Chains A and B, each alone.
Chain A
Amino acid sequence: MNMELEPRLFATTRWSLVLCGANSDSDEQKCREALAELCRTYWRPVFSYVCRRGYSAEDAQDLTQDFFVMVLESHWLLKADRSRGRFRSLLLKSVQNFLHNVSDKNRRLKRGGVVEFISWDAWMAEAPSQLSISSQALGTLAPECLFDLRWAATVVEQALRRLREECEAKGRLRLFETLSSYLVAERGETSYASLAASLGIEDTMVKKQLHNLRQRYRWLVRDEVTHTVENPADVDDEIRHLCAALAAGT
């Protein structure tokens, strides 16, 4: 595959930055920022996992917040088995251990005395999400499978959100909203004429813009996944794993 990445990503992914920062005191601030960014993006799989483990939604919210407090304020990586290599795998293992060790006493103390550092409504409002899965899958998927499925959906949603923001930043939000539904459509399924009429541009321009959006979207998907692996060579394998997770939700 011949794909040109922006130069910085050959050197550093967010996850590799976090792992490097855990080994030394240098760039600690960047390490913390990278980890915080990853947590802000991927809190939903953790929340879904905790819910699927049988906790009420309210308890799951508290536990999810407590978990990320632990991740962000303690030397989490020093205690974790980093040989797992991928942020997703390590985060899942960590939340499993966290739930195993959490006690009612600890949770009451945290709830009573610590200022909520993550505004739940603020997180949800900033990046809304809508995911639909079959009721059968929801009832039968193991918590770990639901975690991966939610992770996969988050990758997709994040890439779409970034694409939308890039279009909006350039004053092309209407173009995005009109063409985004056709990102994965086959050529035969796309009525270029009707889209052109809707946008007030030529058919050929619709084709060019749709191709442009697809190219950029594909890059953004890979970029999202790249940030969660230590080695960019693992991206394809991670995408295939996440595709399998989504297939399990059918």
Chain B
Amino acid sequence: MIDLPDSLTQTTKDAPSCERCGATTRVGEGLCATCLLREGLEAEGEASSQIFESVLAEANVPDKQWRLGNYEILEEIGRGGMGVIYRARQRHSRRMVALKRVLAYQADSHETLARFRREAEAAAQLDHPNILPIYEVSESEDGLPFFSMKYATGGSLRAAAPALRNQPNECISLMAKIARAIHFAHGEGILHRDLQPGNILLDGRGEPFVSDFGLAKWLMGESDLTQTITTFGTPGYIAPEQAESAASDLTPAADVYSLGAILFNLLAGRPPFVGENVLSVIHQTAANPAPKLRALAPSLDRDLETICARSWNAIRERATKPRVIWPKISNAGWRAVRSSHARSMRRFTFGAGRDVTRFSPALA
């Protein structure tokens, strides 16, 4: 089955044939579109809105008015270790937003809450075309903080990754933008600390946005990163060497590591290290050499393999600037596939339209 969501990415999932009509086309939460449409031929009797509302009112199942601050909550669209994500509408402007509500917040004092707000507001000051803008930081009536942000209609990179696997040039372009965003944030003194495909969102045109800068440590408390990895459920994107460090001790190198892991995942189809649990992943990184990208995707350019490898060694090399390790794809167009395997790959154009077929150090 192919999903035709509004995002540009198509994913596949199975859907059985409808037991009534045998059709496979589904809408919404797996409802048979054909059966639903055929209902239009079955209409009979009274169906006016007045009668409908009158009968509706007989059911004693009232909704609770659900508003958070200036927002009407429309529907839950995600749930993770850090809380719940809703699609919401700003009351006065009617703008559609994503609203993230922290449920597991361990605010134990007004001072802690104030610090969270200051850091969230600092993240909200990040103004970069590939950083998801935060519109407002506030708190609900029960004192739990929430923040609203741009609603990314294209879903996350995690969902888009399978479709991008066969589009290495698109992967490179996308990661270059993310690297520039990370570099910008580091320049503003803000680390991400939990860079992973689920925190990279796409708009309707496939433009990437990094979300949740610097808020990870607040959203899971002061526990160590082993807990962090477990909480977020995606080991392999956080530097294993720092797995036993507190979140507050992370350095920019951790974000650089994550960039390499994400790139590897996009191009190879899996994270660099995989395992059943966090400890398994950590054990592999200690016991095994870093995997070579081209062992899994031989048609890719050798420099991409180097970029991934250097990203993972960023901590050892004390190389903390994304642009030091990622100069080639940060600054220039890139042909991800060697010439002998170019096939129908598009060429990149750089800047004013110059065709770049081979990286030149002068362009870095």
Binding site for B on A (CB under 8 A): 1-4, 6, 44, 48, 57-58, 61, 120-122, 124-126, 128-135, 137-138, 149-150, 152-153, 155-157, 159-160, 166-168, 170-175, 180-181, 183-184, 186, 199-201, 205, 208-209, 212, 214-219, 221-222, 225, 235-236, 239-240, 242-243, 246-247, 249-250
If A130-B5, A250-B25 touch, whether A6 touches B62 (CB-CB below 8 Å) is: no
Q: Is B1 an interface residue (CB 8 A)?
A: yes
Q: Would you call A132 and B3 a contact (CB within 8 A)? A: yes
Q: Is B33 an interface residue (CB 8 A)?
A: yes
Mark out the residues of chain B between 173 and 192 whose CB falls within 8 Å of any chain A CB in the assembled complex. Answer: none
> Of A125, A149, A157, which one neighbours B96 at CB under 8 angstroms?
A125
Shortest Cβ distance from B186 into chain A, in angstroms? 28
Shortest Cβ distance from B111 into chain A, in angstroms? 37
Q: Would you call B56 and A209 a contact (CB within 8 A)? A: yes
Provide the residues of chain A in CB contact with B27, threshold 8 Å.
129-132, 153, 156-157, 160
Q: Would you call B5 and A129 a contact (CB within 8 A)? A: yes
Provide the residues of chain A in CB contact with B3, threshold 8 Å.
130-132
If A135-B2, A170-B57 touch, whether A2 touches B44 (CB-CB below 8 Å) is: yes
CA distance A125 to B36 in the complex (A): 23
Q: Would you call A132 and B26 a contact (CB within 8 A)? A: yes
Q: Would you call A1 and B43 a contact (CB within 8 A)? A: yes
CA distance A137 to B15 in the complex (A): 14
Provide the residues of chain A in CB contact with B40, threshold 8 Å.
155, 159, 218, 221-222, 225, 235, 239
Q: Would you call B8 and A57 a contact (CB within 8 A)? A: yes
CA distance A149 to B47 in the complex (A): 27
Q: How large is the interface on B (under 10, 10 to 19, 20 to 34, 35 or more residues)?
A: 35 or more
Q: Is B344 an interface residue (CB 8 A)?
A: no
Q: Would you call B36 and A184 a contact (CB within 8 A)? A: yes
If A160-B36, A218-B39 touch, whether A181 touches B31 (CB-CB below 8 Å) is: yes
Residue on B nearest A149 in the bound complex, by CB: B25
Given contact pairs A157-B27, A180-B31, a sample of 13 additional A-B residue pairs in the complex whose CB atoms are under 8 Å apart? A3-B43, A57-B8, A121-B153, A125-B153, A131-B33, A135-B1, A137-B25, A152-B37, A157-B28, A200-B60, A200-B61, A217-B36, A219-B47
Which 7 residue pairs across A and B have the least CB separation, nearest first? Answer: A221-B40, A219-B47, A218-B43, A125-B96, A184-B35, A212-B55, A124-B153
CA distance A2 to B46 in the complex (A): 9
Q: Would you call A215 and B56 a contact (CB within 8 A)? A: no
Q: Would you call A134 and B2 a contact (CB within 8 A)? A: yes
Shortest Cβ distance from B140 into chain A, in angstroms? 20
The secondary structure that dominates the A interface is: helix
Q: Is B4 an interface residue (CB 8 A)?
A: yes
> Of B37, B58, B203, B204, which one neighbours A155 at CB under 8 angstroms?
B37
CA distance A128 to B5 in the complex (A): 8
Provide the residues of chain A in CB contact with B48, threshold 8 Å.
4, 6
Q: Would you call A166 and B4 a contact (CB within 8 A)? A: no
If A174-B63, A250-B17 touch, whether A58 touches B37 (CB-CB below 8 Å) is: no
Provide the residues of chain A in CB contact with B47, threshold 8 Å.
3-4, 215-216, 218-219
Mark out the residues of chain B between 131 and 153 whose CB falls within 8 Å of any chain A CB in the assembled complex. Answer: 151, 153
Q: Would you call B36 and A183 a contact (CB within 8 A)? A: yes
Can you offer 26 A-B residue contacts whose CB atoms are under 8 A?
A: A1-B44, A2-B44, A3-B45, A128-B5, A131-B25, A132-B13, A132-B27, A133-B2, A135-B12, A138-B4, A152-B37, A153-B33, A156-B37, A157-B27, A160-B27, A171-B63, A172-B62, A180-B31, A184-B35, A184-B38, A215-B47, A215-B52, A218-B42, A218-B47, A222-B40, A246-B23
Shortest Cβ distance from B164 into chain A, in angstroms? 13
Q: Would you call B59 and A199 a contact (CB within 8 A)? A: yes
CA distance A124 to B96 in the complex (A): 10
Q: Would you call A249 and B37 a contact (CB within 8 A)? A: no
Provide the residues of chain B in CB contact with A4, threshold 8 Å.
45-48
Q: Would you call A208 and B4 a contact (CB within 8 A)? A: no
If A132-B15, A219-B43 touch, whether A209 touches B55 (CB-CB below 8 Å) is: yes
If A129-B5, A160-B36, A184-B35 touch, whether A201 touches B60 (CB-CB below 8 Å) is: yes
Residue on B nearest A132 in the bound complex, by CB: B26
Provide the residues of chain B in CB contact with A152, threshold 8 Å.
33, 37
Residue on A nearest B42 in the bound complex, by CB: A218
Q: Is B355 an interface residue (CB 8 A)?
A: no
Q: Would you call A132 and B2 a contact (CB within 8 A)? A: yes
CA distance A233 to B119 in the complex (A): 62
CA distance A152 to B96 in the complex (A): 26
> Of A3, A133, A214, which one neighbours B39 at CB under 8 angstroms?
A214
CA distance A157 to B45 in the complex (A): 23
CA distance A2 to B43 in the complex (A): 8
Q: Would you call A175 and B61 a contact (CB within 8 A)? A: yes
CA distance A166 to B26 in the complex (A): 23
Q: Would you call A129 and B6 a contact (CB within 8 A)? A: yes
Q: Is B67 an interface residue (CB 8 A)?
A: no
Provide the residues of chain B in CB contact with A159, threshold 8 Å.
36, 40
Q: Would you call B2 and A199 a contact (CB within 8 A)? A: no
CA distance A190 to B138 in the complex (A): 43
Max chain B CB contacts within 10 Å: which of A153, A166, A184, A236?
A184
Provide the residues of chain A in CB contact with B62, threshold 8 Å.
171-172
Q: Would you call B61 and A201 a contact (CB within 8 A)? A: yes
